[in-house]
Amino acid sequence: MNISTGRSTTIMLLACMIAACGGSGDAGDQYLGSSSTNGCGAGVSACSGDAETGRIGTVKLTTSGVQVTAASTNDLIATPHERGTDAKVAYGLTPFDKGLASLRVARATDGAITAVNLLLSGLGLSWDGTHERPPILETFGLARGRVQGNSGMATLAALPAANDATFWNNNPASGSGTQANYANNIYFPGEPSTGHCAESDIACIEAAKNGLHLRRGNWQSGGTTPDQVEGGRLHEDGATQAPDAIPFAGFKGYRNLWAWNYRYAHLAGWITQDTVDIVEWNGDDEHNKARRGVVAFGDPTPASTLPRSGSASYIGLAHGWYSPDGTIEPYPIAADIEISVDFAARTARIRVFNLRVDEDQNPSPQFVADSSNTLPFGIGSTLGGAITHGTATGNLGARFFGPVSNGAPAELAGAFSLRGTQSTTITGTLFGLGGFIARRATPQ
């Protein structure tokens, strides 16, 4: 099936290239990232956790993170006839409570992210129309091969030969075969692109070799701009043709990632578009589905160390997506965020302001630009609950990250989802999801 990537893919990939071009790097900063004793496995500096441990409304909790997910709207329509030809392109945005995203990152000693593993499972994607497709394991790598998981970061093995019938065992007449053998293969290697890096920025060059584009922030010198990595890859998951007979990169879909980090907290957004009900797997309604989500994760503050008195302020940024009526292809959104924490009252006041569409377009109607919600502390190092933004309502979940110093944890990050009534210009319901990352504003 020919894949049309749509607005969100184009914006993500262009943002990746544009952002990377301006990054001068900051390889002189020296501090040690998280050690392998953080419960994430060997070689992993920070991770979100691989299982859901609870919920705050629509927000899912994991061992060291919080997350929200959404699905494309058209693939949820009841019948193939109603989907029509537009089903070749997955569009729209609607809340989705299935599945889980797991993030693992590796960082250099200067804090730069050098590798990302994105694990996606249970997202309602099926190649045969009956069984869930094998878990997605995306590294945004450039080398040809087969990505395999382990207890730490993923590894890359050689692809079996095209004539290896014991591995490439699908029978298109019956759809039988080992589906896992057709997942997470990189058939079209990319060339490392380091032209966007300064010659002296070793961390940037190394990130580029991993298929990730790095831009250093100013947070290590007292600012609030986090480091940022972005990546994208066209994939062929589920294609049953021989490895060298697949017609083009992206034959079955694409994936995008953006990720920001401070010292302890991380915020990542991801998109995957996948071909489902594939004819060669005995499917009968081949079309595309899209899933997207936001994950806040990192090194959680131990709950036993949270202060019982005093206050602290945090400032940062928020990013996500918004669809004016749920069926229009989502727009990227951005905002500024201020958080005032009262440790004695066990509450946090979260103010979102300057909310804006983060591209050169002006959809109507939009979310209101400002809101404030006071949320209670939860179990462990979490906080969150129901939120309101204009006419939209939803849920937000967050965690404290990093050790307590001078009376408060160093950082905060979280995720949220919203839905609300439209203005009279468009009937229907608007949807939004996103996340935020913030640093303590007072001396640490």
Contact 431, 419 (CB under 8 A): yes
For the chain (444 residues), the mean pLDDT of every run of 10, in chain order, is 36 30 27 48 92 94 96 67 56 88 93 93 95 96 90 92 95 92 93 65 74 89 90 94 92 94 97 94 90 97 96 96 83 93 97 85 74 94 93 93 96 93 52 94 67
Contact 389, 436 (CB under 8 A): no
Q: How many domains does the chain have?
A: 1
Q: Is residue 47 part of a domain?
A: yes
Q: Is residue 1 part of a domain?
A: no
Q: Is residue 23 part of a domain?
A: yes
Helices (H), 123-215: 202-209
308: containing domain = 6-440
381 closest CA partner among 309, 300, 438, 326: 300
How far apart CA 86 and CA 397 sit, in angstroms, is: 35
| Model pLDDT, residue 20 | 32
Contact 207, 198 (CB under 8 A): no
Q: Is residue 340 part of a domain?
A: yes
Q: Is residue 366 part of a domain?
A: yes
Contact 401, 425 (CB under 8 A): no
How far apart CA 133 and CA 124 sit, in angstroms, is: 8
Q: Is residue 249 part of a domain?
A: yes
Q: Is residue 119 part of a domain?
A: yes
| Model pLDDT, residue 195 | 59
Q: Name residue 131's beta-bridge partners.
A: none
Q: Is residue 365 part of a domain?
A: yes
